[in-house]
Structure formats: structure tokens, C-alpha cells
Chains A and B, each alone.
Chain A
Amino acid sequence: MEETGKRRLNVAATVAAGIVYFLVCAFPLQKELVLVPGWTRSLLQAPAAPAASSKKSGSAQGSVSTSPLPFRLGGSFGYFTPEGSILFAGTAPYGVALAPDGYAAYDRLSESFTIQSPDGSTLARVASVGYPFFAAGRRFVIAPDQATVSELSKNGAIAWTYQLGSVATCFDASPSVAAFGLIDGRIVGLGTSGSVLLDFAPGGSHIPGVYGVAVSPDGLLVAAITGLDRQRLVVMEKRSSAYRVAYHRYLASDYRRPVNMAFTEDGSRLAYESPSGVGVYDRASRSETVIAVPAASSLGLTTMGGRLMVLLSGNGEERRLVCAALPDRRVVDLGLKAQLAFVETRGDSLYLGIDQDIVRMDLVER
């Protein structure tokens, strides 16, 4: 009990310090952009289940004023609204697929699952062996072999199934292409009907493998971190009907685990984890810069309206929240102590999860 009290006090102090920091030390990001604190909410006071969890069916949008944001914090997951209402903070039996419009909690030996809206109403029941995962408005299932993927239709039926041929290591999707990185060094891009849009092994390394993959929101760029000895960044661009290598560079990294990488919402830049910080690839100029952040065992990566890159890095309890004006000007660098953390953005708002609290901060013009 005393330990919990201390922990709460620490969290409160961290949040307060963060708020004071932003109030006192906030400085213009360019000349007119400032981050200001919004609300703080505790997950401890949130319902453990969605309001309509007992409903048989319903609409996802019926009971919430604005589209809620999903969150995952350690073993907890749920939704909150931009206005500061925590819809629920529940736990999954083993895992959960999360998207703004719905979620599916599943067992370790999942043979079926239910897709539910944020308010708990049932959207679809799915009979498929494996684990669900959602991205870019699309819903997928990966089979126990980690090599067979299926896409679900809106009603939960299997729309198509594709056997990738080797073990999938990473994934990203746009509305038009779902890209999978494989241990055999191939990147396979599948269209909305399961057609193969891309099947390419970049090569150029002693040991093949794909450690990270990212797809631009328009689906025209697919980037990947590939190979060992030496590892490299490969960016492919769709021209006519085929993807071709538009940029590649050997890296100093030697990652043997999945690498964090993502495109900005507007698709203008790609950010990826590197030993010297976060690499930023500019689509227009086909050039790179680096935002220097300490090497971290975990990294949350998101962007705000294409203007700010937001990074949450961590080693154990030590976290750093870094905001950088793109391409590479670091403007906020805040240390945090938290066992669990996440960062999420929507538009010009930033949502920071710290252990059992969620904090909102807004980017405003002054």
C-alpha cells in the first residue's frame, strides 16, 4: 500500500514536473509553436470494461463524442477520447489487436475471437486460428506458423490467405498494400485482394533478413532495414505498376531484432531507429538526417501533423520524451521515470502514457 502510494506520488511528481517544464521552459519550436499541457487522467479510475460490453451488436460511434484513441500500457489496453474521457482500461487474456475503430482480445491458443467497437459492441465474430492484428483500417490474422496471413472482410470473413514461405519478422500497411518482412530476406507486399504487389529480396548483405518495414500512407513507398554484415536501408518506390529501389544506404547498425521505423502521416519522411539516434529520410530530396537521441532498448515513434517528430525512448525506467522539428532540430527533451509508457499523437495533440496515467499536451501557435 505504502509502495503504491510512493509510486503514485512519483507519477504525480513526474507529471507535475512535466507540466511545470512545459509551462516555464516551453520555448518556440520554430517561432510560433509551443507545447502546452492539457489534461491528466488516471487509468485506475477508468471502467475495466467498455460500457456496452454486454450488447450483442451495435455501432462503434454511437456512444462517444469523437473518435477515441486506443492505448496499450503494459498489460492494460483501452480507449480514451481527446476530451479526456477514458472509455475503459481492461486486460486481455493473452493479446489484443487495437485500432481506432475496434479491438479484438484473444487467447494464447486463439481459434476464434470477437471484434468489438470501443464502446464494447460486437462488430464481427471471427473463426480463424491465429492472432489478429489491425493496421490502416485493415484487419489481418497471422497463423500459428507465423508465415501464413489472412485478411478479414468487414464482416469478419476470411477475404484471402497467403503463405509467405518463411517466418514473418515485421509488418506495416497502408490502405492499399500490406508489407511483410521475412527471415529469408524478402519483402512481400500484398494488395487488398491478396495479390502480390511486391516480392523482393534486397540482398547485398552476408546474411539475409528483414528487420523493419514501413509503408507510406499512399502505398507508393516501401522502406526496409535489411540484412546483416552489412545492414542497410532500402527505400522502394512504386513507378508504373512495379516497386523499384529509389534509395539505399549501408548502415552502421547490426540489429538482430525488429527495428522501429515509420513514415510520417503525410508520407513526406521516414523515421527509423539507428545507433546514433533516429534517422530521417526525406522523400522529396532523397536525403537523410539524424535526430540524436540516446540509444534505447525501446522506442515509441510518432509524428505530429508532419511538423514534429515525437520520440519516447527508454532503458528500464529511464525514459526520454524528445520532440524534434523536422527534419532534425531537437526542441524538447524531457526525462521521465516510468516502468510503462507510450506516446500517441493525433493532429496537433500529444498523449503520453506514464504507468497508470495519461497526459494530453497540445501544440499551439503563439
Chain B
Amino acid sequence: MALVHIDGGSSVRIVAGVDVGNETTEAAVARVEEEGGESVFAGSSLTFTTGMKGTIQNVGGIRRALSQAVEKAGLAMSDLDLVRINEAAPVIGDVAMETITETIITESTMIGHNPGTPGGMGLGVGITCDIEDLGSVGGDAPVVAVVPEHFDFAQAAALINVAAHAGVAITGAVIKNDDGVLINNRLDHKIPIVDEVNLIDKVAMGMPAAVEVAKEGTVISYLSNPFGIATIFGLTPDQTRQVVPVAKALIGHRSAVVVRTPSGDVQERHIPAGKLIVFGSRSTREIEVDAGSQAILDLVEQLAPIEDVCGEPGTNAGGMLERVRATMANLTGEPQANIKISDILAVDTMVPAKVKGGLAGEFCYESAVALAAMVRTSRLPMKRIAERLEGELGVKVEVAGVEANMAVLGALTTPGAGKPLVVLDMGAGSTDAALIYDDGEVVSKHLAGAGDMVTMIINSELQLDDRELADEIKKYPLAKVETLYSIRLEDGTVKFFDEHLPPETFARVVLLAPEAMLPIPTKHSFEEIRRIRRDAKASVFTTNAIRVLRHIVPSGNIRDIGFVVMVGGSALDFEVSDFITKVLADYGVVCGRGNVRGVEGPRNAVATGLVISYALQQNAGSIVYSDGSTVYCLQEDRF
């Protein structure tokens, strides 16, 4: 700190800035010299927010953030002269997802499925017949043998061979165990065999059935085609319409079985997704959720500024928005009627849903809409938090400054950034932007949808049912374990290891977390997981970046912006900031990840801004700040 001179005449105060966000609480501690002196940033920290943002539970996280920052600065809590907390933006985001179609394949038509190693090849059509009853089949009607679990492959193959020699026309087999190849290898007359049919007990006997196995490396062609199914079972045009979901669920499989009973009524039921009612400041309009995300976003933009959004009662859309409203009412203690939704972001997704009537846990892709909603509350009770903190610490605590203004002050310490500047704050719950003009005036906007929404989309599209894992997939790059000693990375390069990798990771897609390699316990391919992750990020963050910039630029023209500095937790993401830089480069905007005070990266902008705003109040002219080794001097006109 050789360059920091503390003038004997002025007094030094230790000031901390604290930013409570949806997910993280950040602090910055500085020695601020009054009357034209320097501000020396000595420590900063990042911890998890305790409780929901804006509640008294936040105090725990704030205290932890403060003590870590103070410790890094080589100080004690008792050295603090002043703590400044942000006037948190009174917006809270929430996310929800609803499927708008549902495929039900009733027990009267059953389908399966896609085992790793089916047996034989071709199409077999016949009446289902228990393997024990093969001997008593009369006539020459073709049959499909059904083999329950307690028959091993040798017994099953022997029974089929005996029956075939006796003249029974066996055209295919459906079996419970993973024995397709083993049975096929022992048959005198080869037939297509689908194995690993878990719910074999549910297959009714004496029903028409079709078994199809495609050649290695190819996919089935009859049972994935509605007209193929119609040909096999002699269906009418009306019945053919009903088997479309069956064919759809079997597309891309190497093997499949379809069992049909007379009263088959498979249907794709469209759940009424319902209408959204958008209340703009000038007019109110309704839109069907089915219309898709783009139509919803267009309407929201057209009606902006939005005063509230409701869903049609009794539909998924209605239920979803009411849940968001109820959560917020609960949190803020305000009556539900007072909670207004100020923005929504809709994203179209496909979610795999278990097929009702599947024989082995089949999945079918259903259309779904993911919605993020932003709720404007009256001011969050930051004052109460400040009072509690002051009581606990015995240090003066003040609620200072609007969050957006503080973020701008902090972001402006990024080397190379200048006015007019937009701070794009991408957090967990919301995407916020603040624009500072040449004259220092600041305008800001908060939009629904950020990191939490990306996590939700990954979670449902990959059918993980594990938010933590979805969050890890969002955060860490992928790799495929190719040998016991090597992995292939996303860019195609191969990395070798001296020690062998754990066998449970072998041939799996893994996440490269900092300390460990986490295998992803699903059957999804490397490419699929990567595509879903990147699409989720792009559909939330690039959409929102463009949306929020259009909102705050007075001309509505993104080209009029000089600099965009990205800050917040999601700006740390290993690819989000690149997506946005690329998109905005097309508009000629200088856009990049922030580097607060030249050292913090995209974090700590608001906490730093809180300290700088205090220093600016004390000093009329320039402000000098330092991080120990490097000293930066900022003229007041920079802020």
C-alpha cells in the first residue's frame, strides 16, 4: 500500500457496503479518508443470502459477509464505523412450468420400448400367447410369445423351438428379462424379440400385437408410422388418428412392441393451458398460452409498461400465476390482491413425460411453457433489517441508495468503461438493467427470468427431478469419459489422467466441477445435455438482454448504447456472457463482463457502489481507490 498516503489532518472511517441479492450477499470494506483523500478497498466477500431477499432472516448472511470481508481487510468487526445496505429493488421473481399436452395410452393399447440389446430382426405380428400355452395353440394363426420373468433364456428358447417345430407360427416374442440376444441365439427360426419389458404382467393374452426390431444402427419403421400401425391392425381413419401418440412415442427407437385391445382409446389430451390476461397501462388484452412464447412476449412488449398479469381461473396458467402471487403475499405480508405482476418471460420447452400405459417407463415429449414472473411489491423492509443489524453489531447501519444507482457506480470502476453506460445485472431471480446518461441521471428496469429459470428448464427437459443437479449442469462444463484414463471435453479435445478414473464414471457424461467429476445419472447423450443447457441459457438470457435494453434506451434502439457492463452471478457463467457479447456485437455495442475495481470480476458492484457513493458525499473532487498494489484515480465526472 505504498501509494496510499494518509494525510495527518483528515480522519479515516472504515465503511462497509452490503448488497443483499436473491441468492448471494456481498460486502466490500474500505478505509475512506474524508475531505479529498483516498478510499482504500481492503476486503470483500461473497456468501449465500439467508432467507428470502428482504426478510429479517437476511441478517445472518449479512453478518457472515461482513465478518469475512473485515477479516480479509485485517480488521475486526468493532473497527467498522458505518455499514451501508442497498435499498433492494422491490421486485422478486418466481418461476413455474406447465405442460399443455398430455399423452395417455390407456391399458387397452400398450407400447414399449427401447432396450439396449433386443434380439432378432424384423416385424412380427400375431396374437399374444403366454409361453406356457404355446403347446396348446390350435389353428395356424400367428402368435407373439410372452415370456414372464421366471423363465430363463434356455427354457424360453427350448419352449419356442418345440412349439415352432410342432407347427405353431411364432412371429415374435416379448420378454421380461434382458435375454433377447441369448434367446435369439438359441432359436432355430429367428424372430424379433423385445426384452426388458418391465410391466410384462400387464400384457393381456389373446390380443393382437406387433413386435418390431430394426437392424443395428437403424430405427423401426412400421410402429413409428401411424399408417404402419393402421396396416398391421387394420384400423379405420378415425382409429388411425387415435394411434398418432403411440407412433410419436416410438419414433427413433430400435425396437418396439404395440399390443392392442378392442376398446383401445389412446388419445393425446390437450390440457387447456388457459389464457393470460395482460393489463397494460393503456389497454388490456388476452392471449392463449398455447400461442407460444413469442406471441406472449410480443404482447407484453406491445402493452408495456405492464400493470398486472392474471391467468384464466381454473386453468394451468391461472393456477401458475396465483401460486406466484400467493408466495409473494406470504413473503411480504401484503394481501394477495395487492401483489401486481410487472413482467413475465415465457419460454417454449419440450418436457419428457411418462407415458400412461407404457410397458417399461416410456417417455413422450410434451409441449410445455415455462413462465417467470416478476412481482413488484411495496418497498422491501430493508429498514427493519438495518435496525436489527445495528442492534446486533453496535455499529451505525444505514439504508443507502437505490440498488440500480449503486450498481452503476460500482460497474463504472471497471477499467475501460465509460458513460453513457448500461449495467446489465443478471442474477438468479431477475435480469435488471440501469442506464446512466452523460449527466449522471440513472434509469432502471427489472425483468422476470434469470438463472433460476435456466435451472428449471434444464431440470424439466432432462427429467432430472433434482434442482441441485440441474444447477450443477448449468454451472459446469461437460465431458465424456472415453477410457478409464481419458475424457473428451466439449471442444473435442481429449484430456488424459495419471490415475485411473472411478469405474462408475466410465462411458458416462460427467460434469467438471472444481473438486470432482460428477457423473450425470441419465441416459441423455453428451450432445443432448449440451444443447439443452445452451438453449436454456440463450432463451432466457439473450432474450432478456435484448428485451431489457429496448426498454431502457429512450429511442428503443439498442445501437444508441455505448457500453454494456455485465454484472451479477449469472455474468460469471462460463458461457452466458459470451452469448450476450456476441448478440450485442451485432448492434455495435461494446459489451463485456464487468471487472469491478479491476479485481472483482462481475461481482461486488453494488457493495462497491455503496462505499463509493459515501466517499463521493465526503469528497468534492476526485476519488482515489486502491486494492493494495494498484491505485486507481477516478475523476468525479466519471461517476
A binds B: no
| Interfacial residues, chain B to chain A (CB-CB below 8 A) | none
| Interfacial residues, chain A to chain B (CB-CB below 8 A) | none
